[in-house]
A and B are shown apart, each in its own frame.
Chain A
């Protein structure tokens, strides 16, 4: 980035004490945040009183301060498809979207199924420096669903892997899933399951199975393909006493199963994507492949159930399932095009629009579902600790009233498969800070090592 395009807040990255004044502290009312040596030194209405002489001031009146966002479900495509995204570009997109940590899914090429491959991703994330990049380890070797990957070695590696997933594929063999859950218990891991029974849909399934797929002649997944695996897995979690996490929940039926599981005290958590909270399967009428995603967009009644479940805590967190693809991978017939859409840069705005502005969630709920709970599920020690004294100064300042018209051309991602292009959303990320250093402001990103 050229010096001319850098905002004049770059000086905030100098490391001197910083007092952020007047922000709404994650929905708890207006207050100040004092940042010294990359940590929160004071927080609250009187924090300013503790600011040392000469501390820089950043006026944040009218903004909401959130703990830095954590995405439990990101695809960064490196290694293997660096033409779609790299750890560096994906990290930049994450910073622009208000994130300070992302968990990079294992379905790269080669698959992240060894300690060495996990450490390499961790190191590349550290080298980029925009966000913490935590590798997700594969559950099974090469995502083949047959033999367990080196779960323990990945957990013991420098990357300290705690989340394991064959995402993109379901661990559909119940015996393998049971063994994986049993095995990870000793190091407090969690299996993040892509719940989708492959035997309930043909290999060309590409959308929600329902009236529209019937009319369009597109092979679909019925909701029960997801729900039956969610039901099986929560029972396996109860049987093994392990933690299971349901990735990208998409149906009302899955919500019902999760509600029951939580009532039973089963250690099952779940995530929902921003796109499943706002977009519906009706968008497929034009066969526009930007809306082809796995799991598929569902009808409005499922969307309503997901919103309600996120608001009442049945679904624990928001995760983006950021899935970049180069143009040519989407420019095929609908059944042949790649699954996935971008999400890192728009997630906060979508949640603001559909949940906060509609009165379904508070900013405190956003802090919980997009920062503290994702970090807790992933057992991160340096992220998601809230706006509390002593915590690392990982912060996201949000302008809750700003109207954002999404322009795909402005994305930091290498890819442009952006389903939000041209849409107006309410609420935008103003500034992102990682351990006291500004990584992005108003969509402009610069190196944390600069």
Chain B
């Protein structure tokens, strides 16, 4: 495995391998000295063309705790904003001899394009409305921690599916792990062609959150991406919150064992109420914590995993 561009590129076994390795990586977070020598001498560029706080810092911590040299770059003020083509920009960085670029880009497909133009490993840290594979892996990790094996489990993905890269990666990841997936959103926030898509992939579609909640093991609320909306996806925020928000009343509809996830940042009072966000079933902060461990596992599998067995052994947190 050289790149992580899409969950579609991973087999079920590879996903499980990343999640299992993350368990031992997670232990590092609780040590006084959070440092493994695994990626000593390797160089990772966090190249974020789009603003990000949690994903960038999560990847940066993951790289540092594995002893890689990490550098952060943003699209602002670089040659990209001066009119240089994306290809020339990333080839320039590549020519410096880096081992990995972690790419966040506002355009779908940019990491896949960059992977064709460079020789280093590419990790997709979120591309436009396409995918966010490391988020899906950390979501699956978090759910497994609480629910165990996801085979046969039922997960609802609720909210602004059209604009959500988290949704696109999560669907693929959850299905590969054997979970049943139900999508809940108004028709205006369902992706184009969802009818054919769901028919191929066995997804269930609903516009009735109240009917879905009693049957799920996990519900993932997705952020309403108002900044991506050019208008008219739903009448008012109030109508959306009443119809599709995880309100205090709806919490009671969930089975006792069910968990609540949200990739953040949350719009409290819109897609999720404060009560739901802070409820005992909420795994929102667990997701953040797991993020570093899962990303350490990803870096390990992409960089250390391929180099040598000795290095792999050295990098093991076990």
Contacts and interface: CB of A to CB of B under 8 A. Distances in A.
Contacts of B293: none
B129 A218 contact: yes
Interface stretch (B61-69, B80-88, B267-275): B80-88
A140 B88 CA distance: 37
Interface stretch (A34-42, A329-337, A398-406): A329-337
**For B105, B113, B165, B196, which residue has the most chain A Cβ atoms within 10 angstroms?**
B113
B128 interface: yes
Given A333-B105, A333-B110, A217 B85 contact: no
Interface in A308-332: 327-329, 331-332
B113 A287 contact: yes
A215 B168 contact: yes
B109 interface: yes
B192 A214 contact: yes
Contacts of B106: 333
B45 to A, nearest CB: 17
B98 interface: no
B113 A214 contact: no
Given A202-B230, A287-B113, A334-B113, A216 B108 contact: yes
B192 to A, nearest CB: 4
B131 interface: yes
A286 B194 CA distance: 20
A213 interface: yes
B146 to A, nearest CB: 29
A225 interface: no
Contact of A212 (B110, B129, B193): B193
Contacts of A334: 107-110, 113
Given A216-B130, A217-B108, A336-B107, A331 B168 contact: no
Nearest to B165: A217
A333 B193 CA distance: 23
A220 interface: yes
Interface residues of B, number: 27
A217 B130 contact: yes
Most buried by B among A209, A211, A213, A218: A211
Contacts of A390: none
Interface residues of A, number: 27
B86 A333 contact: yes
A278 to B, nearest CB: 22
A286 B127 CA distance: 14
A209 B192 contact: yes
A331 B86 contact: yes
Contacts of A215: 168, 191, 193, 197
User: In the complex, which of the residues A212, A216, A327, A332 has the most CB atoms of chain B within 10 Å of its own CB atom?
Assistant: A216
Q: Which of A213, A214, A215, A220 counts the most chain B CB atoms within 10 A?
A: A215
A210 interface: yes
Given A217-B131, A331-B88, A335-B128, A287 B192 contact: no
Contacts, number: 83
A216 B109 contact: yes
B28 interface: no
Contacts of A211: 192-194, 196-197
Contacts of A203: 230
Nearest to B128: A217
A328 B109 contact: no
Contacts of A332: 85-87
Contacts of B109: 216-218, 287, 333-334
B112 interface: yes
Contacts of A287: 108-110, 112-113
Nearest to A203: B230
Contacts of B116: 286
A219 interface: yes
A141 B127 CA distance: 38
A218 B108 contact: yes
B178 to A, nearest CB: 21
B192 A210 contact: yes
Given A215-B168, A216-B130, A335 B107 contact: yes
**Majority DSSP secondary structure for residues of A touching B:** loop
A239 B107 CA distance: 43
A214 B108 contact: no
A203 B231 CA distance: 12
A213 B88 contact: no
A417 to B, nearest CB: 13
B193 A213 contact: yes
A352 B249 CA distance: 65
A219 B107 contact: no
Contacts of A220: 192
A251 B107 CA distance: 26
Contacts of A335: 107-108, 128
A333 B194 contact: no
Contacts of A333: 86, 105-110, 113, 128
A422 to B, nearest CB: 16
A388 B236 CA distance: 68
Nearest to B194: A214
Contacts of B87: 328, 331-332
A213 B192 contact: yes
B85 A328 contact: yes
A212 B202 CA distance: 16
A286 B108 CA distance: 11
Nearest to B130: A217
B165 A214 contact: no
B88 A328 contact: yes
Nearest to B129: A217
B197 A214 contact: yes
A32 to B, nearest CB: 53
Contacts of B86: 331-333, 336
Nearest to A213: B192
Contacts of A210: 192-193, 196
A403 B87 CA distance: 34
Contacts of B194: 211, 214
A289 B110 CA distance: 11
A339 to B, nearest CB: 15
Interface string A412-436: 0000000000000000000000000
A210 B194 CA distance: 8
Interface string B87-107: 110000000000000000111
Report the 8 A-B pairs with minimum CB-CB distance, sorted nearest first.
A211-B193, A287-B109, A333-B107, A217-B129, A214-B191, A217-B130, A331-B87, A217-B108
7 contacts: A202-B230, A210-B196, A211-B194, A211-B196, A287-B113, A328-B87, A333-B86
Interface of B: 85-88, 105-110, 112-113, 116, 127-131, 165, 168, 191-194, 196-197, 230
Given A287-B112, A331-B88, A333-B107, 15 more contacts: A202-B230, A210-B192, A210-B193, A211-B194, A213-B192, A216-B130, A217-B127, A222-B192, A286-B112, A328-B85, A332-B85, A333-B113, A334-B108, A335-B107, A335-B108
